[in-house]
Chains A and B, each alone.
Chain A
Amino acid sequence: MLLTIIGGLIFIGSQAWEWKNFIGGTYGSLLMKDGQIAQFVDASGHQVTLESFVHKSSEDERVNHTRSNGLWFVNNASAAATYTVNEVIESFKANPDISLRTEQINSETKQKTILSREAANQFLANAAGVVKGANLKINEYGKTLFADFFFFITGFHGFHVLSGIIINIIIFFNVIIGTYEKRGSYEMVEKVGLYWHFVDLVWVFVFTFFYLV
């Protein structure tokens, strides 16, 4: 029972860590006017971070929001990405080693398409923003719809696991103090076990369809 509770906490912890990484972002990418996402790769085709090649220019005229001169109830949620579109475009043009990768998947190799220099310039001309991280509105890894699905499903599942852990803890202490012995029936342990394993059963399918396939 104690092991189950610990295992549940480990699961929730890993999930929280994974969410933190996805929301914070890994590489950063470029958002097009029509919603496409373009990512940056080096000469060997591996994705590179924006930090590794983009230089900040001194002409960034964006101002951080402060509560004293704007909406008092809005924090500066670092809504402005670290780099502006122009900085990314200039740095891309200055770096011949960096290429642009689109979301279009080649069905033969199952790899995303890497663009030629001319096609990449066309992309840059249509760039609308710089993306770092993923949430329900925008997703540096690809389609926003997938981020919506992913966070929705894993979030609900994680919440159920959390309630499962709390119920398990209650049952654990109830068994120790002998509540069920006095009641003469361990039926409640059985029911909670059924709940816990149903949530487990759901995870088996979530894992397959969101992580493996």
Chain B
Amino acid sequence: MTQEHEHESHAGLIWRVFIFLSIITAIEVFLGITKPDALYLSKFLGTSPLNWIFLILTLVKAYGIAWYFMHLKQEKAGLRRAIVWTSVFLICYLATLVLIEGNFIGDVFSGRYTKWFYR
């Protein structure tokens, strides 16, 4: 990063990003506490729309932190791509593994392998 960037009005930007991230967190906490039935009990692409909202807002927050707080914005495009696309690949990879393993555990709990009642 270069010296000129340091002397722009950085404090203002930091506060704006801080407020933006706080608002997103407030929305998440609000939805997490109220859990509206329409979002919580319905299903969309394998999970509830509420979970999709949480996941997407989380990625937006991660972008905000990495881009502004960790100064990725001021890095050269090449380094930026190297970081972002590696992360995208690794997140997809991890999500795939977790979905496979989670499905297995879900099957165990819902199938004949788990005894929920005593008789």
Contacts and interface: CB of A to CB of B under 8 A. Distances in A.
Given A201-B65, A211-B32, A119 B70 contact: no
B118 A213 contact: no
A201 B62 contact: yes
Given A122-B118, A197-B69, A204-B61, 5 more contacts: A201-B65, A204-B62, A207-B58, A212-B32, A213-B55
B119 A194 contact: no
A104 interface: yes
Interface SS majority for chain B: helix
Given A122-B119, A197-B65, A205 B41 contact: no
Given A110-B41, A204-B58, A208-B55, A198 B117 contact: no
- Scoring A102, A110, A208 by chain B CB atoms within 10 A of each residue's CB, the highest score goes to A208
A110 B115 CA distance: 19
A58 interface: no
Interface of A: 32, 34, 36, 102-104, 108-110, 113, 119, 122-123, 125-126, 190, 193-194, 197-198, 200-201, 204-205, 207-208, 211-213
A43 B115 CA distance: 26
A208 B54 contact: yes
B58 A122 contact: no
B51 interface: yes
Interface string B54-78: 1100100110011001110000000
22 contacts: A36-B116, A102-B116, A108-B41, A110-B40, A110-B41, A119-B117, A122-B118, A125-B118, A197-B70, A198-B70, A200-B65, A200-B69, A201-B66, A204-B61, A205-B58, A205-B62, A207-B28, A207-B58, A208-B58, A211-B32, A212-B32, A213-B55
B103 to A, nearest CB: 14
Contacts of A103: 116
